[in-house]
């Protein structure tokens, strides 16, 4: 059973005034219908300002200038939400995630429904809860930050590949990346681990899911106030294939030769320096200090059945 998402300070909706920001370039959104959501929400009496900003800067500007709104809905992938995190934390306006991206891992971690009509109903029947936000050198992320092989996967995830293959594109990119893994030496500070380790992959998770449904850790949630880390040592392609089921279901702690750790702050230095990716985008580089800010983001969630 998946851990429940707790909601400290949760309050009931309804929402009557909504800003909807839709990413018109979202690669995996071809099978999700934003217009159905808009129609359903308006039938419920919700006033919607629907915008299709071209780029992250325009998206942030529209949100920051929007007065008299009760919530903001974002139709796009995790990469569309990421540039808005700081603004959302600052304004404390509740966020409704509409899964119009390729992976939609943040929506999956929040256990949101996928149907447009069900999401529209949350504006009246859901509740406002909270989610943790992770930071890498002061830059926020929602799902997981990675160093190493996953970064190669991110670079291989072109718009054309995502448009053609959807969520299966992650498996194709992972296979391609596994054929040419590049190792590096990592030094950890934080959690319980110290010292050097030669790795091909590091992952630091804030949420529960990443990479199109991979599980960060079996016990991870968006409200546990904890960063979960695993490090994979160099191994053959067959060895990586054997490891995948453990990583897929969040049981890296049971896999051979995988370092697992957790903490509220974790610092990592690498030789040579490596890029740090999160939510599908490059955030920073090593050395990097990771922190978690508990309950920093307001989100609209389904009500629990016993409420």
Q: Of the given ranges (54-63, 66-75, 229-238), which has the lowest mean pLDDT?
A: 229-238
φ, ψ at 170 (rounded to 5°): -65, -40
pLDDT value at position 8? 42
| Mean pLDDT of the 23-40 span | 80
Instruction: Give the predicted TM-score (pTM) of the model.
Output: 0.85
Per the model's pLDDT, the better-predicted residue between 289 and 4 turns out to be 289
DSSP codes of every residue in 231-255: EE----HHHHHHHHHHHHTT-GGGS
Q: What is the CA radius of gyration of the chain?
A: 19
- The three-state secondary structure class of 123 is helix
End-to-end CA distance of the chain: 19
For tokens 């809860």, the residue is: 129
39 contacts: CB under 8 Å, gap ≥ 6: none
Q: Are strands 209-210 and 201-205 parallel, antiparallel or unpaired?
A: unpaired
Per the model's pLDDT, the better-predicted residue between 111 and 233 turns out to be 111
Question: What are 149-167's pLDDT values in tens digits?
Answer: 766 666 666 667 666 666 5
**CA angle (87, 77, 3) in 5-degree steps:** 85
Could you tell me the domains of the chain? Answer: 11-131+296-301 (3.40.50.10330), 139-294 (2.60.200.40)
| Helix, strand, coil percent values for the chain (each to nearest 5) | 30, 35, 35
- What average pLDDT is seen over the chain? 85
Give the torsion through C-alpha atoms of 50, 169, 254, 234, to 10 deg: -120
- Run of H or E including 259: strand 258-263
Tokens of 144: 């997981």
Tokens of 184: 């590096």
For 12, 38, 178, 259, the CA distances from 232, given in Å and listed in that order, are: 42, 44, 12, 7
Question: What are 91-144's pLDDT values in tens digits?
Answer: 999 999 999 888 899 999 999 999 999 999 999 999 999 999 999 999 999 999
Query: Residue 241 CB: number of other CB atoms within 10 A?
Result: 12
pLDDT value at position 243? 73
Tokens of 160: 């054309």
pLDDT-based confidence at residue 194 (cuts at 50, 70, 90): low
For 132, 133, 286, the CA distances from 293, given in Å and listed in that order, are: 6, 5, 20
What is the Cα–Cα distance from 67 to 72, expressed in whole angstroms?
A: 11
pLDDT value at position 195? 73
């Amino acid at each position: 059973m998946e851990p429940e998402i707790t909601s400290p300070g949760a309050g009931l909706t309804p929402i009557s005034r909504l800003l909807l920001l839709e990413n018109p370039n979202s690669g995996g959104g071809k099978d999700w219908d934003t217009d159905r959501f808009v129609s359903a929400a308006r039938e419920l009496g919700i006033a919607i300002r629907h915008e299709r900003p071209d780029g992250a800067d325009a998206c942030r500007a529209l949100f920051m200038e929007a007065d008299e709104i009760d919530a903001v809905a974002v139709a796009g992938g995790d990469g569309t939400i990421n540039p808005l995190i700081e603004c959302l934390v600052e304004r404390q306006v509740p966020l409704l995630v509409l899964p119009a991206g390729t992976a939609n891992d943040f929506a999956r971690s929040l256990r949101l429904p996928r149907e447009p009509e069900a999401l529209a109903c949350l504006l009246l029947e859901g509740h406002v809860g909270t989610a943790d936000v992770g930071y890498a050198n002061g830059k926020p992320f929602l799902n997981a930050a990675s160093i190493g092989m996953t970064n190669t996967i991110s670079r291989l995830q072109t718009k054309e590949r995502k448009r053609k293959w959807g969520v299966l594109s992650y498996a194709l990119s992972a296979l391609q990346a596994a054929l040419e893994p590049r190792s590096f030496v990592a030094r950890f500070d934080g959690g319980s681990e110290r010292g050097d380790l030669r790795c091909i992959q590091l992952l630091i998770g804030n949420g529960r899911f990443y990479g199109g449904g991979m599980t960060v850790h079996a016990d991870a949630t968006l409200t546990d106030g904890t960063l979960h880390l695993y490090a994979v040592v160099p191994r053959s392609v067959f060895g990586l294939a054997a490891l995948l089921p453990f990583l897929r279901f969040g049981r890296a702690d049971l896999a051979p030769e995988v370092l697992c750790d957790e903490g509220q702050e974790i610092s990592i230095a690498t030789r040579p320096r490596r890029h740090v990716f999160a939510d599908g985008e490059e955030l920073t580089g090593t050395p990097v200090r990771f922190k978690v800010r508990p309950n920093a983001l307001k989100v609209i969630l389904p009500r629990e059945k016993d409420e």
